[in-house]
Structure 1
Amino acid sequence: MTGYVLYEYTPNLPCAVLFAALFALSTALHLYQRIRHHSKYFNPFIVGGIFQVIGYGARCVSHFSPTAVMPYSLQSLFILLAPILYAASIYMVLGRIITFVDAPHLSVVPVHRMTKTFVGGDIFSFILQAAGGGIMSSGKEKALQIGQYVIIAGLGVQLLFFGSFLLASFYFHSRIVKTPTEKAERTKDLRASIWPRDWRGLLFACYAVSLLILVRSVYRLVEFSQGSSGYVISHEVFLYVFDAAMMFCVMLIMNLFHPSVVLSQVEDAEKN
């Protein structure tokens, strides 16, 4: 038991079970796609899915033991950190798209530094948020407050690097459209489609999931800024609308438009 109220509500069991199952199914499919296509750059993404399964599994336990610190800490930490791992894979996908269309000269960030730059920021954000979650794991009021401040700093770093990544993506996209390379033109899907199955469609998929992760990060920033008694953290519906549902959509979009569909030539070259 703890003298501090961990939840302002009893965690909803059906929702926790539903999302644990959905994330498990999507993660299993991502694992299959990763093994089939040797897309090792999606390893962080798969780990993020595993984090979600653990997190919502822990919320199931919290339904029956809402005052238990361990399941509270597990669900808080793993659900918080999963999107950082998604972002790490998305960063690597952009670099591979640029390489795929032979357009390193059109990137504002040198391709050989892109992964190190953005993933490095992601790792720093991960460390801060993990440290904040670790501090909060004691369940004590003072520790919860300190942990929230550290997590806010980590979310700020995440938003800074994620915003920079989106700007770099838009800059590259605008330049490749104005001055397309021979490879970019040759690999276009010429079939009439709202969402082309080529590098352009993959960029659109990256934009879609990036927007979802960005909105989710803003939601979390608002949540922790309000504190442990704030309106957002006190109402479970916000977690499922702005985190669970959005992050499942991220995983589903990348299931449906897996980068290996477009980047198979890059992956085949790496295997040889």
Structure 2
Amino acid sequence: MNAPGVAPDSILYYKPQTAGNVILGVLYGLVSIGLWYHLTSRRDWWALCLPIGTTLQCIGFFLRLPLATHPANLGLYIVQTFFVVISPCALFAFSYIAFGRFSYNLQHDTTIQKRSPKVTLLNPLLFGRIFILSDVATFLIQASGGSMEVSASLSGIGSKIFLIGIIAQGVSYGIFMVCAIYTHWVVSADGAEQHPLHRNIQKLFWVLHVAGVWIIVRSVYRIIELAQGFRGFLFTHESENDDIARNAIRKARAMYADNLFLLA
């Protein structure tokens, strides 16, 4: 049973809200413009996935507008879902690459007081490869589940597969956060505050941690949402509840936008 006001033939079980999608689409667009300008002017090509992610999310929000008036359009639904699902993957990829570069520099800076000569639980050069591969795997799981959801006979299995992908993505990021917390602890030894870059180092770590909290909030929300099913309360009350997940990921991206400028 769809939410009130939703057409019987609608692929979605809720009606996307025009105002919310326009506002968030514009905000993501403005952030994307700033990131693209920063990236091209400074040639920080290693961070390319961040503006790509915000741009995809911007497009995803605006694609929900025609979906509200054409709720049975399968092609439009697939494209919109692709943009929304892949966008967080780009954000995560940026965090993995940025932290790998950051921890590599910390590892080789002999002037910083450390609790251990090894500042990371993994080789800093492997962070991007390992966790990005994990992200690709979880994205493929979500994509396969999402493609099955549009079929009435396979929607139940599809939602479960999609849920598995979201859980795996959350677990992967949780492991990454454990690695980041460990590195923060290692470089916060007694006497480390005497280093001229100590404040900047601490700021970067706290940006990472706070952004990580919002990402985890978003993941938990999505897990609960999918566990209830596509006819559950959260899906059928999108206008009231979807702002929680949106705000979480939006604030996380704002944090990572700051992170990009700090690491430049």
**What TM-score, normalized by structure 1, do the two folds share?**
0.83
Deviation at 1:170, TM superposition (A): 0.8
Deviation at 1:3, TM superposition (A): 6.8
Counterpart check, 1:40 vs 2:41: no
Which of 166, 170, 175 lines up with 1:159 in the alignment?
Answer: 170
Alpha-carbon separation, structure 1, partners of 2:38 and 2:241 = 28
Taking a change above 3 Å as real, the CA distance of residues 240 and 3 of structure 1, as seen in their structure-2 partners, is closer
Counterpart check, 1:132 vs 2:145: yes
Alpha-carbon separation, structure 2, partners of 1:251 and 1:238 = 22
Q: In 2, are the aligned partners of 1:4 and 1:140 still within 8 Å (CA)?
A: no
Deviation at 1:216, TM superposition (A): 0.8
Superposed, 1:57-76 pairs within 5 Å as 57-76=62-81
Taking a change above 3 Å as real, the CA distance of residues 22 and 214 of structure 1, as seen in their structure-2 partners, is same
Alpha-carbon separation, structure 2, partners of 1:135 and 1:22 = 32
Deviation at 1:22, TM superposition (A): 1.0
Deviation at 1:123, TM superposition (A): 1.4
Report the more deviating stretch, 155-164 or 58-67. Answer: 58-67
Indicate the RMSD between aligned Cα atoms, in angstroms: 2.3
Deviation at 1:88, TM superposition (A): 0.8
Alpha-carbon separation, structure 2, partners of 1:51 and 1:82 = 6
Partner of 2:114: none
Alpha-carbon separation, structure 2, partners of 1:237 and 1:109 = 42
Identity of aligned residues (%): 21
Superposed, 1:134-153 pairs within 5 Å as 134-136=147-149, 139-153=150-164
Which of 188, 192, 202 lines up with 2:198 in the alignment?
Answer: 188
Question: Which stretches in structure 1 are left out of the alignment for 5+ residues?
Answer: 190-197, 265-272
Alpha-carbon separation, structure 1, partners of 2:18 and 2:121 = 47
One-letter code aligned to 1:188: H
Alpha-carbon separation, structure 2, partners of 1:144 and 1:3 = 16
Q: In 2, are the aligned partners of 1:101 and 1:181 still within 8 Å (CA)?
A: no
Which of 13, 17, 25 lines up with 1:20 in the alignment?
Answer: 25
Taking a change above 3 Å as real, the CA distance of residues 66 and 4 of structure 1, as seen in their structure-2 partners, is closer
Partner of 1:234: 236
Which of 8, 11, 21 lines up with 2:16 in the alignment?
Answer: 11
Which of 232, 253, 256 lines up with 1:254 in the alignment?
Answer: 256
**What TM-score, normalized by structure 2, do the two folds share?**
0.85
Which of 79, 82, 91 lines up with 2:84 in the alignment?
Answer: 79
Partner of 2:111: none
Which of 188, 202, 205 lines up with 1:203 in the alignment?
Answer: 205
Q: In 2, are the aligned partners of 1:128 and 1:154 still within 8 Å (CA)?
A: yes
Taking a change above 3 Å as real, the CA distance of residues 259 and 55 of structure 1, as seen in their structure-2 partners, is closer
Partner of 2:113: none
Alpha-carbon separation, structure 1, partners of 2:244 and 2:81 = 15
Partner of 1:194: none
Question: Which stretches in structure 2 are left out of the alignment for 5+ residues?
Answer: 1-6, 109-116
Deviation at 1:180, TM superposition (A): 6.6
